[in-house]
Every structure is written in C-alpha cells, then in structure tokens.
C-alpha cells in the first residue's frame, strides 16, 4: 500500500511537471496575450509543486549554503518590490520568486525520488523533438508562422525562444544515445530546426554542446596529448583557439550587423542606467518602461539581450550579485558533478544568457533550474532538516493562500480576454461591457496588458475622460508609444492641449522614427494657432526617413508639404 501511494504521488507530481513545461512551450490563447498563458501555467504549477514537496517531505528537507542564498534572494526580491522602488510590477517579482521556489521543490522531489528526474528529462526532450517538428512544418508550409515578421518561429512569436529552448534541450538527448537511429535522427532534426530558426544565441549554445561532448568523449586522450606537448606547442594551441574564437565571433557579429550594433548600444545604455541607480535599480519588471524613457532608439526595446545586465538594471547591484553568485556557484559546483548532461545544460544556458534573455524565456529558465537542481543534488554536501507540524501547517497555509490569490488573477485575465472577444464579435452592448471590464479592473489594475486593452476600448467608445486615468495607470508599468499617443488624443478631445502635446512629445522621444506622433503634434499646433511650431514639425516630417515605407507615411508627408506650401503663400 505504501509503495502504491508513493507511486501515485510520484505520478501526480510528474503530471504537474509535464503540464507546467508543456504550458511553458505552448499557449492556450485564453488570455489577452500569449505570454500570459505561459506565465500563469508556470507560476501556478510552481506554487503547487512547492505545496506538494513540503506536504510530502517536510520531515526530511535537503539544505545547503545555496538553499540559504536562494531564500535570501527571494526575500530581497520581495523587499525590493514592496519598499525600495517607487513603482513596482507585480508579475515579474512573482515569476522570479515562484521560479526559485520551483527550483527548491525540484531539489526536494528529486532527492527523494530519483526516477522523477529521469522522467522529467524524458518529457523535456520529447517536447523539444515536437518543437523541432513544428519548425519543420512551418518551413515546408504545413503550419503557419506565429509572427508576421518571421517565416519560422516554432510555438512562440519570437523565434529566439523556440531556438534557445531546443538548444538548451540538446544535452538531454544523450539519454537516448543507445538507440542510435532515434538519437541521430532526433539530433539532426533539432540542428536543422536551429539552422532555420536563425538565432545566433542558439547557435552558440549548440556549438558549446558539440564541443563539450567532443571534450568529454576524448578527455583522456586530449589530456595525455596536451601533457606531452612542449611549452611552445601549448602556447601555439592556445593562440590557435583564440584565433578561431575571434574569427567565429567576427562572423556571428557581421552575420546580422544591424542587430549586433543595436545590442552593443543597448548594453552601453544599460551600463549608464546602472550608473544612475546603482543600489536599488529601477524595479523588477520595469526594464522596458525605464529603458525606453531613458534613451530614444529606432524601435521600442523590451529587453537587454543580456540577463546579467538586465538583473543589474532592475534589481540594482544587490540583485545583480544574487543572480551572479547563484549562477557562478552552480557553475563552479558543476565541475565536481558526475551528471555531465546537467553540467552541459547549465553552462550552455549560462553562456546564452550573455547574448540574449534566458530568465523571461519560460522554457529556457525552466531548463536552467532543472539542470541546477540536478547539479545541486549531485555536488553539494547536503544536510537534512525537519519542519515541525506547526511550521509545516503555516507554510502550507501561506502557499495555499498565494495559490488561490494568484489563480484568481489568472481567472480574471481569462475573463477579460472573453469580454474583449465579445466586443470584436459585436455580441455585447457598450454599457454592459464597460461594467464587466470595470469589474476586471478592480483585480487587474497592475496588469499592463489589461490596462492597455481597457484604455483602448474606452477610447474606442469615446469615453475620453474615463480613459485618461486608465492610460496613466498603464504608463506606470510600460512606455509603449501607442498608449502615449492614445492618451494625447484623449487629452486633445478634452481640450487639454498642453497635456496632449506632452504625451505626443514623449511618444516621439521614445521612437524618433515614429511619424504618427509628429503628425498629431503638427495637427495640434495648427489647431491651437502655434504656426511656428506647426511649420517646424512639418519640416521635420518631410525630412524624416521612414524605416518601412507605407501609404500612411506618404499621407503624413503630403499633408506636411501642403501646410508648408499654404504658409509660403500667406
């Protein structure tokens, strides 16, 4: 009976893990934007895993110095969000703490049930295989791309996430190495998917995987050969590898020159931002808002493309040190780890984090924490503690309250999506939908996606006075130019011209290449009789070069020409 109950618990945990990882990779489109579906599946399942782990194994919890570091990091994220910054996001701090909680749950579950780790790895590599198949279907035209900008994206609108997920899963395919045909075919399919996804970060990860496997396979032979080399030959080998590294780096940099230049500019500006707020940072989840207000760019920037820098910008130096020490501790510990699959995966993802985002790429961060738990169990000197009944009851109560509260927010996100879908289908009247959305607002007043959608609907229904505070609330969490533009239009309709000008100017500052904000400013200056400013803006529109030519841009330029011509005639 005891064995049956243990087996049932193990399979129940495995079901939660499978649901969680599947939800990280594929989304249900039940919420306003696809990432919210991935987000809530990840976080809710993480909380549930914590509850299950504490409930089952509270009498024998493995701990170590790294566990203490993770606990302090969670406390810092909470304190930083609640007390150290003026405006705090809800979603990213919860995501980070839930992910660290999931890591601790993995450590606890995998220590007591080693088979669960192997079964989890089977789920991960299976999903990586189907992700590669999905990319192949998009390549041949059987499946549609999820982005208008890329032909092949995998299950995400951003192909980088799909590519990094496949690359981070490569080490796990070693587990099926004895099935040579399946192993070879799966790897070839994954490498082809990485090629067509065209993500340089994933290519770097795949290259590391190949080099790591070659080294571990020929480790004994290579060490013997290296020992017999003279000092001069050893230096020649080192110089050869440095030369190859420079050549490959140069190729990857020039392969997408514009993208490379943009990332270098972003990294430089991130360093400047850290210099301005070194201690407390700007707040977790606030990178997109603060970066775009800090320095105008050709297009809106959503991430730092280097998670080490992004952690420093958001969490300050202390947050950066927690992140860096956590990763470095795991990497140094992995040297003693016998599980080479986990070692390879851990280093691979840590390296990719230098050139792209891994924390906010749900499946990639999931894989990193999975590998981290494996390394922690295999290399750390663990000592076990027992949680008393009262402490256990308190922990389970807090986790359960957190689960239901977070689940309530997830429910309202799905409700908001359903309400907005009714507007699109014209099956609901204006008064009723605004009442429903106002009810959603009481719970989702810190969700930038909901606030953006709600403010847009109020603007659509010409409820300008009601729309203004919702726009302002949304701009506490994001710097999306379209929200500033709509806010300016609302101010203009309410005859608040100075505020309208400020909103349009901010939008044009965030995106210097944006024509709409300049056209609206030109019209506003004409309406308020500011002819000099109107003429200056008209000349600016005429001289500005569009990033992507369009009929709308031609209309803006034509109107600017007409205004200049009319002024010259007078």
7-64 pLDDT, tens digit each: 888 999 999 999 999 999 988 788 988 899 999 999 999 999 999 999 888 767 767 7
What pLDDT, on the 0 to 100 scale, is given for residue 427? 64
> Are 518 and 328 within 8 A, CB to CB?
no
Residue 415 reports pLDDT greater than 70: yes
> What proportion of the chain, given as a percentage, has pLDDT over 90?
63
Please name the residues in contact with 170: beta carbons below 8 A apart, sequence gap of 6 or more.
Answer: 128, 187, 190, 205, 206, 209, 348
Q: What is the largest CA-CA distance in the chain?
A: 96
Residue 3 reports pLDDT greater than 80: no
> Are 412 and 445 within 8 A, CB to CB?
no
The SS3 call for residue 62 is: strand
Q: Which of 20, 107, 101, 15 is nearest to 362 (CA)?
A: 20
**For residue 5, what pLDDT band results from cuts at 50, 70 and 90?**
low
Q: Which two tokens stand for residue 312?
A: 């420093």
The SS3 call for residue 445 is: coil
Bigger pLDDT: 419 vs 233: 419
What pLDDT, on the 0 to 100 scale, is given for residue 80? 94
Q: What angle do CA 559, 495, 466 make, to 5 degrees?
A: 110
What pLDDT, on the 0 to 100 scale, is given for residue 148? 86
CA torsion angle 359 89 34 472 (round to 10):
-140
> Are 253 and 293 within 8 A, CB to CB?
no
Q: What is the mean pLDDT of residues 389-405?
A: 92
| Percentages of the chain per state (helix, strand, coil), in multiples of 5 | 75, 0, 20
DSSP collapsed to 3 states, 141-207: CCCCCCCCCCCCCCCCCCHHHHHHHHHHHHHHHHHHCCCHHHHHHHHHHHHHHHHHHCCHHHHHHHH
What pLDDT, on the 0 to 100 scale, is given for residue 1? 40
What pLDDT, on the 0 to 100 scale, is given for residue 299? 75
Mean pLDDT of the chain: 89
136-173 pLDDT, tens digit each: 999 999 999 988 889 999 999 999 999 999 999 999 99
Please name the residues in contact with 198: beta carbons below 8 A apart, sequence gap of 6 or more.
Answer: 152, 159, 163
Alpha carbons 441 and 449: distance in angstroms, whole number = 11
Statement: 428-510 belongs to CATH 3.40.50.720: no
Residue 294 reports pLDDT greater than 90: no
What pLDDT, on the 0 to 100 scale, is given for residue 188? 95
**For residue 310, what pLDDT band results from cuts at 50, 70 and 90?**
very high
Strand ranges (DSSP E) for 320-456?
Answer: 383-385
76-90 pLDDT, tens digit each: 999 999 988 877 789
331-384 pLDDT, tens digit each: 998 888 888 999 999 999 999 999 999 999 999 999 999 999 999 888 766 666
DSSP state of 83: I
Q: Which of 97, 67, 10, 51 is nearest to 393 (CA)?
A: 51
What pLDDT, on the 0 to 100 scale, is given for residue 558? 92
State the helix-helix crossing angle for 180-197 and 159-169, rounded to 10 degrees. 150
**For residue 550, what pLDDT band results from cuts at 50, 70 and 90?**
confident
Strand ranges (DSSP E) for 48-91?
Answer: 61-63
- Domain spans in the chain, listed from the N-terminal domain onward: 2-395, 428-510, 515-570
């Amino acid at each position: 009976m005891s064995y049956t109950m243990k087996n049932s618990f193990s399979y129940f945990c495995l079901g939660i893990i499978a649901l969680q990882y599947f939800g990280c990779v594929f989304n249900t489109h039940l919420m306003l934007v696809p990432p919210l579906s991935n987000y809530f599946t990840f976080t809710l399942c993480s909380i549930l895993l914590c509850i299950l782990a504490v409930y089952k194994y509270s009498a024998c919890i493995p701990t170590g110095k790294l566990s203490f570091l993770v606990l302090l990091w969670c406390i810092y994220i909470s304190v930083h969000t609640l007390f150290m910054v003026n405006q705090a996001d809800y979603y990213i701090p919860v995501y980070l703490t839930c992910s660290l909680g999931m890591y601790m749950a993995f450590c606890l579950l995998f220590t007591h049930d080693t088979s669960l780790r192997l079964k989890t790895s089977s789920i991960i590599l299976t999903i990586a295989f189907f992700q590669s198949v999905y990319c192949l279907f998009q390549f041949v035209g059987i499946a549609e791309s999820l982005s208008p900008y890329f032909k092949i994206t995998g299950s995400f609108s951003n192909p980088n996430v799909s590519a990094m997920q496949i690359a981070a899963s490569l080490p796990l395919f070693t587990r099926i190495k004895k099935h040579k045909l399946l192993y070879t075919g799966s790897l070839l399919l994954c490498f082809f998917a990485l090629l067509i996804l065209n993500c340089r970060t994933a290519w770097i990860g795949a290259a590391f995987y190949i080099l790591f496997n070659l080294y571990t396979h020929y480790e004994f032979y290579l060490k013997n050969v290296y020992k017999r080399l003279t000092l001069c030959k050893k230096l020649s080998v080192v110089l050869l590898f440095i030369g190859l590294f420079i050549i490959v780096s140069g190729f990857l940099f020039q392969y997408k020159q514009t993208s490379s230049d943009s990332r270098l500019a972003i990294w430089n500006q991130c360093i400047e931002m850290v210099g301005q707020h070194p201690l407390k940072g700007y707040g977790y989840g606030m990178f997109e808002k603060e970066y775009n207000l800090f320095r105008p760019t050709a297009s809106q920037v959503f991430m730092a493309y280097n998670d080490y820098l992004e952690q420093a910008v958001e969490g300050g130096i202390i947050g950066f040190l927690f992140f860096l020490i956590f990763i470095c501790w795991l990497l140094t510990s992995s040297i003693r780890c016998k599980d080479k699959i986990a070692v390879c995966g851990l280093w691979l993802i840590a390296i990719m984090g230098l050139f792209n985002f891994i924390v906010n790429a749900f499946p990639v961060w999931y894989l990193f924490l999975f590998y981290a738990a494996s390394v922690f169990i295999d290399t750390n000197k663990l000592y076990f503690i027992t949680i008393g009944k009262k402490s256990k009851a308190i922990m389970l109560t807090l986790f359960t309250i957190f689960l239901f509260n977070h689940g309530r927010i997830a429910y309202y996100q799905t409700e908001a999506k359903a309400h907005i879908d009714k507007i699109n289908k014209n099956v609901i009247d204006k008064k009723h939908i605004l009442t429903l959305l106002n009810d959603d607002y009481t719970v989702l007043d810190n969700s930038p996606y909901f606030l953006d959608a709600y403010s847009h609907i109020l603007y659509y229904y010409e409820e300008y006075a009601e729309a203004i505070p919702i726009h302002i609330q949304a701009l506490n969490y994001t710097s999306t130019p379209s929200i500033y533009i709509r806010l300016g239009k609302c101010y203009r309709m309410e005859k608040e011209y100075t505020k309208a000008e400020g909103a349009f100017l901010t939008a044009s500052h965030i995106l210097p290449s944006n024509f709409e904000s300049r056209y609206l400013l030109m019209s506003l200056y004409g309406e308020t009789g500011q002819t000099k400013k109107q003429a200056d803006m008209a000349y600016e529109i005429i001289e500005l070069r569009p990033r992507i030519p369009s009929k709308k841009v031609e209309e803006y330029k034509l109107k600017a020409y007409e205004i200049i011509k009319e002024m010259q005639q007078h």
